[in-house]
């Protein structure tokens, strides 16, 4: 709340607020892939469950990562589409960790399973953010896929139980605003300590 009021004061009285500290280094949110197994109503990416031409191959991704390292970017957020649909994601994540990036996986959570949770742990993600935009049918409507809520919740539980720092990302709209308190309660019950609105 303090930051919002400070920002509003700066808008009303430009120059009235001194910076509290130097601006942080940039965070890179990297859409590694357009392909996605869902077609979320509110997604900014035009995605589908198919391959798209002209995406970077593994070598090109690693080359760009080297550039980002030289530019002293401290944080990489791997997103998409659905980044877990990239077969080379473990290799990409491993190289990011070798270069010293704080690495985050931003996912819809539906592709996390008993089969690949070990791979996610081994990749050493500093944080895994999973989207939940309502409970049950509300989330499924947003995702346009029945069962998406249960699959995402299973992904959250697998990550949490494997010791990965895990959080929920919630896109607030008038269609799901009434479910925010219940979602926060779910977060507490599931022992998830990060929530991004």
pLDDT per residue over 157-173, tens digit each?
999 999 999 999 999 99
Kindly give the pairing relationship between strand 127-131 and strand 194-196: unpaired
Joined together, the tokens standing for residue 129 give: 């953010």
Average pLDDT for the chain: 89
User: Under a CB-based contact definition with an 8 Å cutoff, are residues 16 and 28 in contact?
Assistant: no
Q: What string of DSSP letters covers 124-150? A: T-SEEEEE--SSHHHHHHHHTSTTHHH
DSSP state of 32: -
Delimit the domains of the chain by residue range.
25-196
Q: Is the pLDDT of residue 77 over 50?
A: yes
The predicted pLDDT at position 2 comes to: 44
Name the CATH topology of 25-196.
TIM Barrel (3.20.20)
pLDDT at residue number 51: 77
Range 28-49 burial, b when 16+ CB lie within 10 A, else e: bebbbbbbbbbebeebeeebee
Q: Residue 6: how many CB atoms within 10 A of its CB? A: 13
Q: How far apart are the first and last CA of the chain?
A: 13
Residues 6+ apart with CB under 8 A from 78: 30, 32, 89, 92, 93, 96, 103, 104, 105, 106
SS3 105: strand
């Amino acid at each position: 709340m303090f930051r919002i009021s400070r920002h509003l004061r700066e808008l009303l009285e430009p120059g009235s607020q001194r910076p509290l500290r130097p601006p942080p280094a940039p965070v890179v949110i990297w859409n590694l892939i357009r392909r996605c197994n869902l077609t979320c109503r509110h997604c900014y990416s035009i995605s589908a469950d198919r391959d798209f031409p002209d995406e970077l191959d593994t070598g090109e991704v690693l080359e760009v990562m080297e550039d980002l390292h030289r530019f002293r970017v401290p944080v990489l957020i791997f997103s998409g589409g659905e980044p877990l649909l990239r077969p080379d994601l473990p290799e990409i994540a491993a190289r990011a960790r070798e270069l010293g990036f704080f690495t985050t996986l931003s996912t819809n959570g539906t592709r996390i399973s008993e089969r690949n949770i070990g791979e996610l742990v081994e990749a050493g993600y500093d944080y895994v953010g999973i989207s939940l935009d309502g409970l049950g049918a509300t989330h499924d409507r947003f995702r346009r896929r029945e069962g998406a809520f249960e699959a995402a919740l299973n992904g959250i539980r697998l990550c949490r139980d494997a010791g990965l720092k895990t959080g929920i990302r919630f896109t607030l709209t008038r269609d799901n605003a009434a479910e925010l308190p219940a979602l926060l309660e779910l977060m507490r019950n599931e022992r998830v300590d990060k929530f991004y609105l």
